[in-house]
Amino acid sequence: MKLILSSSLLALIALATTGGVAIGQINYISQTRSVSAATNAGSQSFGFSEVGHWSQSAGSSNGGFASAGAGQITDLRPDAIAFNISAGAGGQNAFLAESSCILDTTFSLSEASPFELVRTGTTGGMGWSLRLVGVFNYGPGSPNVPLSLTGLLQPGQYRLVVSASGANFPTGSDMSGQAQGVLYIPTPGAATALLVGLSAGATRRRRS
């Protein structure tokens, strides 16, 4: 996964190297990842509670009457949390169809660290949410998730919850949701290498 950092985050990293703030690492405490889908014909669900990469989908169909599906590709790394989740459902009014997709992880930082939330694809619908508790909170009716959001996380414990849900309502309307992005929290090594490269590039430009 390529590390893409904005100018705002680079400024925070530069501050860290001069003693203004230290850069920590994501220490995972607990994590729950799940996908599920159900119709009148049956249900399917999967879960995962380890760190690292997970890719899974679930689906259910009641012939031509109703269908539901959910999918998740997520990666919990020491320097980033990447997510691509979606859920949807539809069908005739009288038939059940619902789905859900959840990433719920709690982690801690031992030192103050810059972060960047990058939106990498479609995020929206009537059934989705993206929140880092106490830091940012997005969902239906909220402002759009920015392409890049930067800030500084103080030492402590944090909880990131990303969810999508789908449903077939008796009124004839359907609900779906999707969220795609990456929460970057660079490790010391990544930040140092990046700054060395930037310094070398600046030196070459001054000499030219």
> Can you give the pLDDT at residue 122?
85
> Can you give the pLDDT at residue 142?
84
Burial class (CB within 10 angstroms; exposed 0-12, middle 13-18, buried 19+) of 108:
middle
Percent of the chain with pLDDT over 90: 59
Residue type present at position 9: L
> Can you give the pLDDT at residue 163?
97
Which of 38-42, 51-55, 69-73, 121-125 comes out lowest in average pLDDT? 121-125
Q: Is 172 left (phi over 0), alpha (psi -120 to 50) or beta?
A: left
Packing angle, helices 188-207 and 7-17, rounded to 10 = 100
> Can you give the pLDDT at residue 188?
55
What is the Cα–Cα distance from 160 to 81, expressed in whole angstroms? 9
- Assess whether pLDDT exceeds 80 at residue 86: yes
Integer CA distances (angstroms), 33 to 85, 107, 174, in order: 10, 14, 24
Q: What integer best gives the mean pLDDT of the chain?
A: 82
DSSP assignments along 59-95, one per residue = EEE-TTSEEEEEEEEEEE-SSEEEEEEEEEEEE-TTS
Q: Give pLDDT tens digits for 117-140.
A: 999 998 988 899 999 999 999 999
Between 172 and 183, the more confident residue is 183
17 pLDDT band (50/70/90 cuts)? very low
